[in-house]
Structure 1
């Protein structure tokens, strides 16, 4: 069974929601965050990336950064921009991007179920990034931004969500600077809460969609608090962490593309010759950009030209759900053996560009001479993600890019 609990969120007062809501910490750098904070003085980026209120030269892992995050978080409460709900409830969080609607339920999931594998992951995490989030959660004594989970859609849950949206006015309803619409409804009716709780309890598992570091860190803070409170009962707030759970049939995964700094001492001609050993290579004259239209088709931009790469028969294991991913095929047949990218998680020669930034960004960077070659991937599917998680396997890094991103600051879970 999957535990999903209502909770008493700390939330912005409706008149401040649009100014407080911010992108999550991991989709902008410090300079971009400072611009955001200047444009929107109430932006929750001051909690997500609190270095915006500290000297630019400060080490991002300095204790003062985490102390500032806590100070900024509780200032919202002290100055009356936020307050905590008086009773536990669920929240419907709807986002609309380019006409496509995504409805998530906001509630709490279980630390124990993450540790036992009921909440299934599909990516590895990095220790340094985990430690950063652990220190942030611990200092704030709160989950300041949600993790993003998915589940195999259930009619019983969807019926409650749609009825609440139809019959009640939203608490928040605004369009952010990027054109994405954000709306929030409250689910405080005991009968609706019971239906949602029982429907999730009937599920075998939940899946991490996005936010593996936040998920792992939230669980580890829960375990840390248990050590600090050896008489814990299991019902304390620190035994749970905040999640937005979206049904699988409403998710959209975008391409997550690769760009490499150099050709590993190969000339363009030698590089193309090596690639042709494992891929059918078709040069595409007179195209501005090329986006693959189906699985096992990869776009490549090199020396002011676009190419279509199709892996040759036998270059991957079709029976293996990880090996048959296009990102794996590219890694195993080109990035590693030809370009020398052994560990894409740590190699500084490779970078990853979410498809939402557009293919023109890849062209610009290669044409600038700072990068040598870019690869455009066909998006991983939600079914592939679930099959890999069900098999207990791990995807290569940067296999999925989800949009729209969940905004931070619309709901916060206090650990005490």
Structure 2
């Protein structure tokens, strides 16, 4: 049973939604960021980059307080409004190749604690606590955690009906995406949605593990400080965007390594031969066609690597993941990459960037070798989560990627 409820969103007025909404901060180049801050006074970037107002860079708790001040200014200037009653929000993104549509809601941290919200990635305690401290100071959450649930005819039918109405927001972005948002405030429909989610034994985190963990830490801390805690306080929930499993788009990350760990090309290939059947494809760009097949680009040539299944033992869902196999049989023992998060010798490129980019980076001498594989599936994510396991870092690049500032959850 999952507790996924409506909430009173703080959000832009209809006329300013397209101006307020921003991509994640790290997605902007320095030039793009400067242009947005200089020429768009309504951009949400002004809130998360509050020192720009004074042409001064701030960090730590001082920055957190300035973020809160910028947020309050947006409310005072009526750029933001707050809905009077709790609502669900339908959010739809039409991208070049995909359409995503789901429900923005508030989700219980208790479900996260009790593993009704299942996770498949490890989190870093330093990041968890840093973001927990940030949330505690600013008092709001603007980046929904992406959750996925089994396809539901009840929710599909509600969405199909509601999107026939005029949306609250409808705007385009520079990357040629269309964004729509509808507000659901009908008590009858709200109860149907709430009941349908409550009937689901679990949902799964697709993207946002650290945000979940930080919200849980904040709730735990707030509960300890509140002698009148009831469990219904806003700090007991975090904002989420829930989409059906059939709409989740999962891409893979390719791996690039700067050197062969002291091995010659020939020595490296000999070591790989123990676990993989290797075929030199020359200049033919090779893409894997099935699980446990990998592509490799080395010294100006493409290779296919097929796992020798007679040698390899599958013991659980994690051991069958291609990202795990690549780590266990090549990256760690042969190339000496122990720490996939912090080793400076390894880098990642998600598959939305073409394999030719891998070739270019290796040809330029920035890396010695690159590896690619098929993306992980939704079922694999669920199996790993159900078994209480965690995937290697950078196992998935998941879409949709949401705009910040369209709905804000206060606590």
Q: TM-score range by the shorter chain?
A: over 0.9
1:310 to 1:32, Cα distance in 2 relative to 1, 3 A = farther
- The aligned counterpart of 1:128 is 126
SS at match of 1:357: coil
Q: Indicate which of 391, 400, 405 corresponds to 1:404.
A: 400
Residue 165 of structure 2 corresponds to residue 184 of structure 1: no
| Gap regions ≥5 residues in structure 1 | none
- Indicate conservation of the 8 Å contact 1:255/1:355, yes or no: yes
- The aligned counterpart of 2:65 is 67
Deviates more, 1:248-257 or 1:301-310: 301-310
Q: Indicate which of 157, 160, 173 corresponds to 2:158.
A: 160
Residue 342 of structure 2 corresponds to residue 364 of structure 1: no
1:192 to 1:385, Cα distance in 2 relative to 1, 3 A = same
Give deviations 1:96-124, integer Å, cap 9, x for gaps: 22242111101111111111111110000
- Indicate conservation of the 8 Å contact 2:129/2:217, yes or no: no
Residue 102 of structure 2 corresponds to residue 95 of structure 1: no
Aligned length: 411
1:174 to 1:291, Cα distance in 2 relative to 1, 3 A = farther
Residue 51 of structure 1, CA deviation: 6.0
Separation in 2, partners of 1:182, 1:160? 19
1:113 to 1:28, Cα distance in 2 relative to 1, 3 A = farther
- The aligned counterpart of 2:252 is 255
SS at match of 1:356: coil
| Gap regions ≥5 residues in structure 2 | none
Separation in 2, partners of 1:51, 1:291? 46
- The aligned counterpart of 2:276 is 279
1:352 to 1:53, Cα distance in 2 relative to 1, 3 A = farther
Separation in 2, partners of 1:358, 1:46? 33
1:205 to 1:379, Cα distance in 2 relative to 1, 3 A = same
SS at match of 1:185: strand
Residue 305 of structure 1, CA deviation: 1.8
Residue 169 of structure 2 corresponds to residue 172 of structure 1: yes
1:230 to 1:350, Cα distance in 2 relative to 1, 3 A = farther
* TM-score normalised over the length of structure 1: 0.93
- Indicate conservation of the 8 Å contact 1:282/1:308, yes or no: yes
Q: Indicate which of 331, 334, 341 corresponds to 1:335.
A: 331
RMSD between aligned residues: 2.0
Q: Indicate which of 287, 290, 298 corresponds to 2:286.
A: 290
Residue 253 of structure 1, CA deviation: 0.2
Separation in 1, partners of 2:230, 2:45? 34
Residue 21 of structure 1, CA deviation: 1.1
Separation in 2, partners of 1:69, 1:83? 18
Deviates more, 1:355-364 or 1:228-237: 355-364
- The aligned counterpart of 1:115 is 113
Separation in 1, partners of 2:148, 2:26? 20
- Indicate conservation of the 8 Å contact 1:104/1:246, yes or no: yes
Separation in 2, partners of 1:384, 1:205? 16
Residue 1 of structure 2 corresponds to residue 4 of structure 1: no
- Indicate conservation of the 8 Å contact 1:24/1:48, yes or no: no
- Indicate conservation of the 8 Å contact 1:316/1:329, yes or no: no
